[in-house]
Structure 1
Amino acid sequence: MATLITPNLPKGQLFIDGVWRDSGDGRTSATFNPATETEIMKVAKATEQDVNDAVEAAHKAFEDSQWSKMGPHERASILSKIADLIEANADDLARLEAMDVGKPLQFARSFDITFIANLFRFYAGVARGRMDGATRLVTPGADGEMPLAYTRKEPLGVVAAITPFNFPMILSCTKIAPALAAGNTFIHKPASATPLTALKMAEIFEEAGLPNGVFNVITGSGGTVGNALVEHPKVKKIAFTGSTDVGKGILRGSAESLKKVTLELGGKSPHIIFNDANLETAVQHAMFAIFFNKGEFCMAGSRLLVQKDIYEDVLDRLVEVSKALVIGNPMDPDTTYGPQIDLDAQKNCENYVDLAIADGARLITGGKPMKVDGKGFYFEPTILADVKNTSRVAQEEIFGPVLVVTPFETEEEAIALANDSQYGLAAGLQTENLGRAHRVAHALEAGMIWINTWGQFDSALPFGGYKASGIGREQGIEAMDSYMQTKSVFADISKR
């Protein structure tokens, strides 16, 4: 076993208006290591007054215009410096993520860190030259003169993000980077279970030179902090990633002040293996799609649809490749599979397995809680076969390492099964037939489609959901629309 290196812990306080401070009533809550079940540190638990202080600080910073009116090259320079500092602090950030989330260190270091650094560099480029308006040809006036008509892109003001526990760095930075690039000020409310990298990132933003009040972090409960942000009239947009039920509540709560809202919500993503696929690589992709990040992945390929004549072969291969997972302490660089975030998540997986078996599913492998060295909220990599698409285990998001497998006969049946879900976040297919690949990709009702791969992302490519999987898009140029508003200017320039 490799030596486990403990990261430098961040400040456990609120970061408001460029100042680290305790919560108004001095209360704290603990964050725990899900692999060892031990407390890592205590973090400030914000009050409603703390939320108001953060909003006022962000509002004042926006009104002062130091950031929103900053020249594009200067703003881009700060965003690029953030990317540099992320890479300079990569080891600490990755270890904090591994310890707080249960995410294997090797993935946090190679995937999460690389992705967020590239994200800030991408939006630094956007800030330099992709936020301009356009002149428009309009109807000439009565005198035959052509008016001057043009559009301007302007920031919204105060943006608040409420982010989940499973990808704390990525799912916050997909909101922070475009919002800052657009000239907004920002308040981040991280998940109560995993606040550590959010606090470390605040230290990085401070070092990068963001003016006071432009970026704020307030830790605490969703019931107090999240609701106060949603209801605050000076918050102009809420960016949320989390469950569909909570997202619906945020949409209702934001209606009173008519906030802009983007919601990246739940998923039950179908993954189709056709009989003309390269089975060796298809099964590897299927394993990655469900067991990456121990299944706590909103885009997990949790519904595997397999053509009947290769069905049993694929099941056998899945069991074999699942044995290659290295289950262990996430802080160990060799580990590829860590624990669930907490005991409730572990029990949730167990309950769904019991429901599936009672409904006639066949348990192929796994299905039970487990521990490593007598500790941790681990759940065995689990595969359930012969699952009816109408069953709860096929329709409801488990958010854990439980793969449900269903056979199909024809391409048309595969598409129908895949689309028979309230969700539409991601989908994928494995085939060597080029025509089929694009035909099926076009027919699938999901915001992200993977062909002969799974889980590939890039800062330039937007993602988001269809149906109950969300509203709006993150990443890419497309994300900027939700962090800016368009002003039209119509000027009569005729001679008087």
Structure 2
Amino acid sequence: MTVIGAAGRLYIDGAWRGGQGAMRDVVNPATGKVVTTVPDATPAEVDAAVDAARRAFDSGAWSGLSGRERSRVLYRAAALIQEHAEELAQLETTDTGKPIQFSRMVDVGNTVTHFEYYAGLAYSIDGATRQTGMPALAYTVREPIGVVAAVTPFNFPMILSTSKIAPALAAGNTVVHKPAEDTPLTALRIAELLTEAGLPPGVLNVVTGGGPVGESLVRHPGVDKVAFTGSTAVGRRIASAAAETLKPVTVELGGKSAQIVFADADLDAAGQAAVSGFVFNTGQFCMGGTRLLVQRPVYDEMVTRVVGGAVHVPVGDPLSPETVVGPMAGQRHLDKVRGYVELAASEGATIAAGGGRVDTLDGYYFAPTVITDVDQGSRLVQEEIFGPVVTVQPFDTEQEAIAMANGTSFGLAAGLHTRDVARAHRVAGKLKAGMVWVNTWGMLDVTVPFGGYKQSGYGREYGPEGLHEYTQTKSVLLPLT
């Protein structure tokens, strides 16, 4: 496996550039061993990346191309990523600890799809003619915004970066990408592959490092738009910083999603969805179903099913194709999850399954954990844990279930299980979430937009809506007399 051919360097203006800042270890969370090092970009290097993106945009080397010409490059990028699929999957698993089967099928697969889908949409960026009361021809056009700062988290490095980069490039923008400090390797490799596909120098730049690097990028006067995925706390700071220069912002933030099981549900399917909903990606999934709400007549049976499923989830070496749950992304993430479970015990909740570190394995492993007898006001219910932990609560009526599901500050996703089609539509309409699943969990497709309500953010990714986030509308009026 190629780790990265440019350890200790940044990708700026189409080439590797030696990092002048302090070096940061990239650690394999499955072993705790250092894989390579990357630099914390200095303010001068952030300036250089933004300047390169600005020159590339203003020159028209990319923004001046037709949608068809941009599309061809993005299709080539998709083909190159597919050609290097195994290399990228190995990098992603080494960097994040996620199971290799997920890296191959979910992460690389979706990355290829992002570029293919937005390559197709690059053809269809258009405006409209408008009827007016004036003797004039009036029409609108959609134009690229300019230099986009994409700041992305550690849990899905490829997916959450290319869900921004692909539509931004399709619309004609240039990009400076700041990946998570812990998981930068695929971002650097993909930037190299996009240059090979024909992306002009400066159109995509990658600067690595911690929070100060991202903040300097967000505040930079040369950046025209910010796209961020991460925690709600950091999202607030980014939105505030971007407001200083009135930059438009897309923020996809935290979640605390409820999965409701009604008594008439298919309990086999609901049980499978409940387990997969909280262990997927080792629970490091902002749309994870981490709150299970079960109607009282089937509550005990569902708890038994979920506990039985959780204890049999394969936990282990992420390079093994049998593994479903790998290690947490790092020590601080492991400590955070362990702290919440200790809180549950102190509050009198029941740890029905799991509840601790997997000591038989090296690395940052935490056992899939099921917690019952927890109050709605508990921090375990109200705060994002971001690990393989689910709380289970009973309810009696449909109205109570809706109130409990909506009873947090988040609104990223929600779901319900029922055989009653009328109830499915009725409840889905009352759930305050940007994505609602019925009789399933976690289905996502690049054609279907997602994003948050409430403290889960604003703006949308995926679909044509995701492309429109990277354009601005201009109106043109031409007198006809």
TM-score normalised per structure 2: 0.98
2:284, 2:390 → 1: CA distance? 12
- 1:213-256 deviations in Å (ceiling 9; x for gaps): 00000011111x11111111110011000010100001111111
Is 1:89 the counterpart of 2:61? The answer is no
Who is 1:46 aligned against?
A: 41
2:311, 2:5 → 1: CA distance? 36
1:216 partner letter: N
Who is 1:151 aligned against?
A: 140
Deviation at 1:8, TM superposition (A): 4.3
Deviation at 1:7, TM superposition (A): 4.5
Q: How does 1:231-250 map to 2 (within 5 A)?
A: 231-250=219-238
2:282, 2:329 → 1: CA distance? 9
Distance 1:280 1:7, change over 3 A: farther
Match for residue 171 of structure 1 among 160, 163, 167: 160
Deviation at 1:482, TM superposition (A): 1.7
1:49 partner letter: A
1:198, 1:470 → 2: CA distance? 24
1:196 partner letter: L
Q: How does 1:306-345 map to 2 (within 5 A)?
A: 306-345=294-333
Who is 2:437 aligned against?
A: 450
Moved more, 352-361 or 453-462: 352-361
Partners of 1:10 and 1:199 within 8 A in 2: no
2:129 partner letter: T
Partners of 2:256 and 2:411 within 8 A in 1: yes
Who is 2:24 aligned against?
A: 29
Moved more, 360-369 or 169-178: 360-369
Is 1:64 the counterpart of 2:59? The answer is yes
Partners of 2:157 and 2:179 within 8 A in 1: yes
Match for residue 188 of structure 2 among 187, 199, 214: 199
Deviation at 1:35, TM superposition (A): 0.7
Partners of 1:134 and 1:152 within 8 A in 2: yes
Match for residue 291 of structure 1 among 251, 256, 279: 279
Partners of 2:98 and 2:325 within 8 A in 1: yes
Who is 1:105 aligned against?
A: 100
Match for residue 133 of structure 1 among 109, 120, 127: 127
1:372, 1:155 → 2: CA distance? 52
Gaps of 5+ in 1: 1-5, 141-145
Q: Helix, strand or coil: the match of 1:432?
A: coil
Is 1:17 the counterpart of 2:6? The answer is no
Q: Helix, strand or coil: the match of 1:489?
A: strand
Partners of 2:310 and 2:370 within 8 A in 1: no
Partners of 1:371 and 1:377 within 8 A in 2: no
Is 1:361 the counterpart of 2:356? The answer is no
Identity of aligned residues (%): 51
Is 1:255 the counterpart of 2:251? The answer is no
Who is 2:199 aligned against?
A: 210
2:195, 2:331 → 1: CA distance? 35
2:445 partner letter: D
Deviation at 1:115, TM superposition (A): 1.1
Partners of 2:410 and 2:456 within 8 A in 1: yes
Structure 1 vs Structure 2 CA RMSD: 1.0
2:60 partner letter: S
Partners of 1:10 and 1:196 within 8 A in 2: no
1:66, 1:311 → 2: CA distance? 60
1:351, 1:45 → 2: CA distance? 29
- 1:174-217 deviations in Å (ceiling 9; x for gaps): 10011000000001000000001111111111111100000000
1:355 partner letter: L
2:254, 2:149 → 1: CA distance? 20
4+ residue stretches of structure 1 with deviation over 4 A? none
Is 1:426 the counterpart of 2:426? The answer is no
- 1:87-141 deviations in Å (ceiling 9; x for gaps): 1111011111111101000011011111111111111111012x1011100013x
Is 1:387 the counterpart of 2:374? The answer is yes
2:155, 2:466 → 1: CA distance? 21
Deviation at 1:65, TM superposition (A): 0.3
Who is 1:3 aligned against?
A: none
Who is 2:175 aligned against?
A: 186
Count of residues in Structure 1 that have an aligned counterpart in Structure 2: 480
TM-score normalised per structure 1: 0.95
- 1:420-473 deviations in Å (ceiling 9; x for gaps): 110000001111111111111110000000111111111111100000000100
Deviation at 1:10, TM superposition (A): 4.3
Q: Helix, strand or coil: the match of 2:340?
A: helix
Who is 1:124 aligned against?
A: 119
2:15 partner letter: V
2:153, 2:260 → 1: CA distance? 28
Moved more, 428-437 or 316-325: 316-325
Q: Helix, strand or coil: the match of 1:368?
A: coil
Match for residue 71 of structure 2 among 54, 64, 76: 76
Partners of 1:271 and 1:429 within 8 A in 2: yes
Partners of 1:290 and 1:300 within 8 A in 2: yes
1:480, 1:319 → 2: CA distance? 41
2:92, 2:356 → 1: CA distance? 25
Moved more, 319-328 or 447-456: 319-328
2:111 partner letter: I
2:214, 2:110 → 1: CA distance? 26
2:276 partner letter: F
Partners of 1:192 and 1:219 within 8 A in 2: yes
Partners of 2:3 and 2:35 within 8 A in 1: no
Q: Helix, strand or coil: the match of 1:328?
A: coil
2:38 partner letter: V
